[in-house]
Each structure stands twice: as structure tokens, then as C-alpha cells.
Chain A
Amino acid sequence: MIIDVHCHFGSWPFAMDNFGVDRIKEYLDRFNVVKAIFSSSKAIVYDFKEGNKELIEFLKKDNRLYGYLVLNPNYLEDSIEEVNRYLDNKRIVGIKLHPAYSRVSIDDERTKRIIEEFLDTRLIYLVHTWGISMAVQLARVARQFPNVRFIMGHTGGDVWYDCLDIVKPYPNIYVEPCSSYADRDKVRVSIDTIGIERVLFGTDFTLINPSFVIGMVECSGLTEEEKSSIYYKNSIKLLEGGKDA
């Protein structure tokens, strides 16, 4: 059984088919994914409001589908409005921030203004991280907002090893390991560095094949109990602490 905390729907500008809802459901069946949290690719790379609107429609298609609203802090007031518009939707569990696309860092004043606005909502923040500086920025924000839960997407990417040390002191930062490079030791070192309870399962599907991250978990020499913690138990705990769990 799997809970995937990092999924997308929509088109990508790459050589791959667009995954409609039927094909996404087929993948969820194939990998026994019981719950998956999606954000809109359109919202990330282009128009966040248009993408979020499509996300809300998409989530109605299957009861395993949950969502992150994508926000673009370049449009601060619109971002706040966007959360207020969908906050009551029980399928929305969090906010996706992608500093590489919006070009607004996670510790920018505008981003922090958004976080402050929704401190009492218990929304989860999935933050794309790639590189040491993004990890440092995330750590800074996690220290400032100790009651807000952040998921560090990709665990900092190709420098994940150092990024784990950077976020280790902040119990409100969780990590998920997906990346184009399926490092053999990434899951094991993540567990050993920050503790298994903070390691989640995320794939970046539909961009990345779920087989990639499943292989990383399976090759890590984990017990069945450890694997189930990563595949779904840790996410259940995280979501239970979230809005309308």
C-alpha cells in the first residue's frame, strides 16, 4: 500500500504522453496507491489560478485523489485569495511552492506572508528543493514557523546528502526522495540522518515513473515495518495532523 505525496497532473513540455485521469487511475491501481496528492503542472509552469481550477475538477474523478494548491508569490494577493477560495475543499491538503519556476525563494517576504496568513489552517507545504541554497532557505522558514509542516521535495536533489544535515534540526521538515538519479543509498541515509518518521514516499508522477522511487525503497535493506512507514504510515500521521484529516 502506498500514499504518494508528490504527484502532478497536466501536460509537460517533454517527449511523453499526457496522462489523462483514466491512465492516472491505471497507475494508481498498478502500484497499489491508495491516496495520491497532486498539483497541476499548468499551475507550476504557467498560470497558477487556471491550473488550480483544473485541479479541483480533476480531484472529483476518483476518491484517491488529493491536491496541493500551487501558489505564485509574485502574485501575493491573488495567492491569498486562491487559498481562501478553495480552503473548504476537503481534498485540498496543502500548498505546493516551486521556487525554481516562480523564481521566488521560500524565504522571500512574500512567501512568508502567505504562510503567516494561513498559520491556523494546518495546511502542508510541499516545496521543490534543488541545491544547498534552497535547503538553507527552507530551514530558515521552518525555524521561523515551527508549527507549519514542510515536505522537502527531492530532498535537495543531487546534493541531498548535505541537505539532510541542513534540515536535520527542524522536526517540521519532512523529506521525500524522488529524483532523476535513483541513488542507491538515499533512502537509507535519509532514515539514518533525520529519522524514519520524517521520510515520506513521493514520486513526481506523472513526470517520473513510480518504479523509480519504489526501487530506491526496495534496495535500501529495510524491514517490512520500515518500508510500510515510508510507503504510507508516516504520511497518514502527517495528513492526520492536517486540515480536515
Chain B
Amino acid sequence: MIVDINTSFGFYPYRKIDTSLETLRSILKSYHSKAFSLSLKGIFYDAIEGNEETLNLLKDEKELYPIATYDPRAYPKDIEYLENLREKGFLAIAFFPRLQGWVIDFAPFREVIEVLSRDKLPIIIHTSGYGELTKISSIAKETGFPFIISGFHYSNLSEAIAVMRKTENIYIETHLLNSPDALEYLKKYVGTDRVIFGSGTPLLSFETALNVVTESTLSEDEKESILSKNLEKILGVKL
């Protein structure tokens, strides 16, 4: 089974590309994959409107699980919405500092994390700048809930390894792990239990992300863990 932690749907404003829910469904179907997803509206325009769209459009989906988001640049607007995300039906919350131009030290983000401490949902952060994961690790240690980091590739894999060795609740998502031996390298230094499959589809190639796992020299059990089981362990549910 494959569960993709990193998908989205909706309108993409930066160039012309079909990122509709129908296209996402079709891609996932062709790979027999389930996925966590959210509306791009929540990233680019208004988090709450996007979250509501995510819930509405995914409510009857069996293979797609809703993720919430919040843009700390809007804090404290609508912050109360984050108080009971689990009850609303979300399985995780994702943040997009790279895309939205803020950094982990941003005070409003710290406030948001405090609000989220009641639900303890997994937090997915899309970031890549040197030092950002180091800062996330401090927050992760304080809060204790799972942080899944997306955006690490050959140039900052060293930071991922350094942080994961010291902070048990930091996980790494795979879609940018692009060096030829990235998974083997992670296995050697931190193991594969905290590596979670993500693709970035439909913006990015699902096939590429899948290839990185399936074409690696890891064992079949390790590949299966990365593709779904590690995530199920974080959530404590069978997807």
C-alpha cells in the first residue's frame, strides 16, 4: 500500500497546469495510492476558506484524507479555528513557510503551535533554508508531537541527519530526497523508521517520488514502511 503525505488540489497561480481534484484522483488511482491532501486555496489565498473546501470536497473520498493549513502571516485572524482540528476531521496540519515567505522563528508561528498543542496533530512543514530544521527541532522537543519535514534534498540532508539523531519526533518526507543514495544514507545514519513517503503531486511527478523509494537498495520491508507503515505508526491508525 502507498500513502502519499504530500498532495494538493485546486488552482495553481504560478503557471498553467492542471492541478484539479480530478487529476489528483486519476494520478493516485493509477498508482493505487491513498493520500493526504489539501486545497491550494488554503495556501495561496485564505486558510479557513481553503480548509472548509478541503473538508467539503474530501468528505466522501475513501482514499483521500484531509489536511488543514494556516498562514501565520494572518495571525491572530481565525486562530480559534485551529482549536479542534481533529474533531473537524483533519488528520494533520501543514505549513508552507517557503512558499509564503516567513521563517520558523516568526513569532506568530510560535503562537499557532501553542494553539495546536491540545490536538497534537502531526505537523507537516514545507521548508528548506539552512538552519530552519534546526529551529524546528527545538519546537519539536518542547511540544513532543510529530513534525514531518518536507523540502530536504542533497544540499541540506546533513541538517536533517544531525537533527533527527537528536530529536526523535522529527520525520522527513521523501519527495525532494534527490541524491542517488539519499535513502541509503538516511538508513545508515538515522534508520528508515522516520522516513515518510510524499510526492508533491499533481504539481510534481508521482512517478519520480515513487522511483526514489522503489529503485533504492532498501529491503522490501523498509520500502513498505516508508510508503505507508511509518505514517500509520505516527497516526496510530490503519489507513
Contact = CB atoms under 8 A, between A and B. Distances in A.
A34 interface: no
B208 A219 contact: yes
Given A14-B154, A15-B158, A215-B208, A208 B178 contact: yes
A14 B157 contact: yes
Given A15-B157, A15-B158, A180-B153, A219 B207 contact: yes
A215 B201 contact: no
Chain A interface category by residue count: 20 to 34
B203 A206 contact: no
B210 A180 contact: no
Interface string A203-232: 001111111111110110000000000000
Contacts of B155: 14
A183 B199 CA distance: 10
Interface string B113-152: 0000000000000000000000000000000000000000
Interface string B157-196: 1100100000000000001101111100100000000000
Contact of A15 (B175, B185, B207): B185
A185 B182 CA distance: 24
B179 A208 contact: yes
Contact of A182 (B154, B179, B185, B208): B208
A228 to B, nearest CB: 17
A27 B203 contact: no
A145 interface: no
B96 to A, nearest CB: 15
A16 B180 contact: yes
Contacts of B17: 184-185
Nearest to A215: B208
B212 A209 contact: yes
Nearest to B177: A209
Contacts of A185: 17
Interface in B205-225: 205-212, 215
Given A16-B157, A215-B210, A209 B182 contact: yes
A12 interface: yes
A19 interface: yes
Nearest to B18: A185
Contacts, number: 92
A183 B205 CA distance: 6
B154 A16 contact: yes
Given A180-B176, A219-B205, A211 B211 contact: yes
A117 interface: no
Interface in A171-197: 180-185
B179 A207 contact: yes
A184 B179 contact: no
B205 A184 contact: yes
B202 interface: yes
Given A15-B161, A27-B180, A210-B180, A182 B209 contact: yes
A17 interface: yes
Contacts of B208: 182, 211-216, 219
Interface residues of B, number: 30
A161 B210 contact: no
B164 to A, nearest CB: 12
Contacts of A213: 208
A37 to B, nearest CB: 17
A71 B204 CA distance: 34
A72 to B, nearest CB: 22
A159 to B, nearest CB: 9
Contacts of A183: 203-205
B238 interface: no
B204 A182 contact: yes
A106 to B, nearest CB: 23
Contacts of A208: 154, 178-180
B154 A207 contact: yes
26 contacts: A14-B155, A14-B158, A15-B154, A15-B161, A16-B185, A17-B181, A27-B180, A180-B153, A181-B176, A182-B208, A183-B203, A184-B17, A184-B203, A184-B204, A184-B206, A206-B180, A207-B179, A208-B154, A208-B179, A209-B179, A209-B180, A210-B180, A211-B212, A212-B211, A216-B207, A219-B206
Given A16-B180, A184-B202, A211-B208, 15 more contacts: A14-B155, A15-B161, A16-B157, A16-B181, A19-B180, A180-B154, A205-B180, A209-B180, A209-B212, A211-B211, A214-B208, A216-B205, A216-B208, A218-B207, A219-B207
